[in-house]
């Protein structure tokens, strides 16, 4: 059966406006956390976030078009353009129907929805924008990227909370494996750093409130962690069948080797504390990749920095790997990017690609006090040089969604 390879990558996130800038900041342990600047947060209990910095959409697209797109759609367009350019892809009438798009979002155009509600209430329905529907719908980013580039293959979005990006890449992986398409643009985008978004996640007890001293938050796997920091951004990968990539002389970055997905069927926001669903998804991904437990050289953790997530994920890793669990380096890059909701699972695949290519494992920053319940090798505070052949990435979402992807060094 065809191997699926990664030939292009693009991203806009709190650490950078492209892959190179992001990777440099990531391995240097740069934090993306800062005071919220996108809106007035004075009436909220949370005043910090990981915002995308210095993002001016008019530099990347026509100003009129930018105003008709929600922020999450702007992010997705830029990340997709980067992925297409880095892959050297050319869309033509001959191949347009053989290219698919799966650009996911857990929430979609939240700011557009919130703004429209206020407009409707204060000024009446005639003042609601006629562009509201394409700005708020979660599949809007995927549809607009298809329009931008004339791509006519399968085009949709996956919504599985914080697993959306990973599940979307998994769906693209399966379509490529089946022979339905030759190429896919797969990833996710999110722009939920809004007043209502921050308030909502804070109300479920998930957010860090270290507003005055945010230099040490979030703290995944640390005993004193107090919650996640909300992030935003997009990441898109260009995926191809190996034969297609070779035939056009593409530069192959890595192999997307496996995918696994399960549901906890337990609680709408809390992960099951025993981690069985996560462990099963890890085992599925490795079986899909035809890999053994000992082949895994790095785990990109979901690692949100909440008490429940970090402990249940630790149990999931132990459940999947047994005695090997303590020997496999694992880190949470959300300690730097914040939690980009559905988009983080896609961004963390880019980090796995870079890890297998460059032999550098990103750290978990802000780590100070070990938690006996989270006793894995979390690569504390400094990146680690280590040559690896296989990395896996965990994405566990509200609703009990578990998605795991495996990335292998291409040989």
Pairing of strands 99-104, 48-49: unpaired
CA distances, 112 to each of 136, 316, 394 (Å): 6, 37, 30
Contact 162, 344 (CB under 8 A): yes
Specify the pLDDT at position 273. Answer: 85
Between the CA of residue 367 and those of 187, 207, 331, 336, what are the distances in Å? 29, 18, 11, 12
Please report, for residues 137, 220, 225, 234, 379, the alpha-carbon distance to residue 328 in angstroms, rounded to integers and kept in the order given: 40, 17, 22, 28, 10
Q: Which residues are the active-site residues?
A: 162, 302, 339
Contact 10, 235 (CB under 8 A): yes
Q: Residue 170 in contact with residue 178, Cβ under 8 Å?
A: no
- pLDDT score of 281: 98
- The 10s digit of each residue's pLDDT in 60-88 is 999 999 999 999 999 999 999 999 999 99
Q: What is the pLDDT of residue 198?
A: 97
Q: At a CB cut-off of 8 Å and minimum separation 6, what does 130 contact?
A: none
Domains of the chain, CATH where assigned: 1-411 (3.40.47.10)
For the beta carbon of residue 93, count every other beta carbon within 10 angstroms: 8
Q: Please choose, from the candidates 29, 24, 197, the residue with its C-alpha nearest in 3D space to the C-alpha of residue 109.
A: 197
Per residue of the chain (411 residues), what is the pLDDT tens digit? 899 999 999 999 999 999 999 999 999 999 999 999 999 999 999 999 999 999 999 999 999 999 999 999 999 999 999 999 999 999 999 999 999 999 999 999 999 999 999 999 999 999 999 999 999 999 999 999 999 999 999 999 999 999 999 999 999 999 999 999 999 999 999 999 999 999 999 999 999 999 999 999 999 999 999 999 999 999 999 999 999 999 999 999 999 999 999 999 889 888 888 899 999 999 999 999 999 999 999 999 999 999 999 999 999 999 999 999 999 999 999 999 999 999 999 999 999 999 999 999 999 999 999 999 999 999 999 999 999 999 999 999 989 999 999 999 999
Distance CA 316, CA 326 (A): 12
Q: Which residues contact 32 (CB under 8 A, 6 or more apart)?
A: 13, 14, 15, 25, 50, 51, 53, 231, 336, 337, 338
User: Which residue, chain included where needed, has tokens 């530099």?
Assistant: 59
Instruction: State residue 274's pLDDT score.
Output: 87
């Amino acid at each position: 059966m065809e191997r699926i390879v990664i030939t292009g990558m693009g991203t806009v996130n709190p650490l950078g406006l492209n892959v190179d800038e992001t990777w440099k900041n990531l391995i240097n342990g740069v934090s993306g956390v800062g005071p919220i600047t996108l809106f007035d947060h004075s009436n909220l209990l949370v005043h910090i976030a990981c915002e995308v910095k210095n993002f001016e959409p008019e530099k990347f697209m026509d100003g009129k078009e930018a105003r008709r797109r929600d922020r999450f759609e702007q992010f997705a367009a830029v990340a997709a353009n980067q992925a297409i350019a880095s892959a050297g892809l050319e869309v033509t009438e001959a191949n347009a129907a053989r290219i698919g798009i799966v650009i996911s979002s857990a929430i979609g155009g939240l700011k557009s929805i919130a703004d429209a509600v206020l407009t409707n209430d204060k000024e009446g329905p005639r003042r609601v924008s006629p562009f509201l529907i394409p700005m708020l719908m979660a599949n809007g980013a995927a549809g607009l990227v298809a329009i931008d580039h004339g791509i006519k293959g399968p085009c949709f979005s996956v919504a599985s909370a914080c697993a959306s990006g990973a599940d979307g890449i998994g769906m693209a992986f399966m379509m490529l494996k089946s022979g339905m398409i030759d190429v896919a643009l797969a990833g996710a985008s999110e722009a939920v750093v809004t007043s209502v978004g921050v308030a909502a996640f804070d109300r479920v007890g998930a957010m860090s409130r270290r507003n005055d001293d945010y230099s040490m938050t979030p703290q995944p796997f640390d005993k004193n962690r107090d919650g996640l920091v909300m992030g935003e951004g997009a990441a898109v990968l260009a995926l191809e069948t190996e034969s297609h990539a070779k035939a056009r002389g593409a530069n192959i970055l890595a192999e997307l080797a496996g995918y696994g997905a399960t549901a906890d069927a337990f609680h709408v926001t809390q992960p099951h504390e025993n981690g069985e669903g996560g462990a099963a998804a890890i085992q599925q991904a490795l079986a899909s990749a035809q890999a053994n437990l000992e082949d895994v050289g790095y785990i990109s953790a979901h690692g949100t920095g909440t008490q429940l997530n970090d402990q249940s994920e630790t149990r999931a890793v132990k459940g999947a790997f047994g005695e090997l669990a303590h020997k496999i380096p694992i880190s949470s890059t959300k300690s730097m990017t914040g939690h980009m909701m559905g988009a983080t699972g896609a961004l963390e695949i880019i980090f796995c690609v870079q890890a297998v290519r460059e032999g550098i494992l990103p750290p978990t920053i802000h780590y100070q006090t070990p938690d006996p319940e989270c006793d894995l090798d979390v690569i504390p505070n400094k990146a680690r040089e280590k040559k690896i052949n296989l990395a896996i990435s965990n994405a566990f979402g509200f609703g009990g969604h578990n998605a795991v992807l495996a990335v292998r060094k291409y040989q």
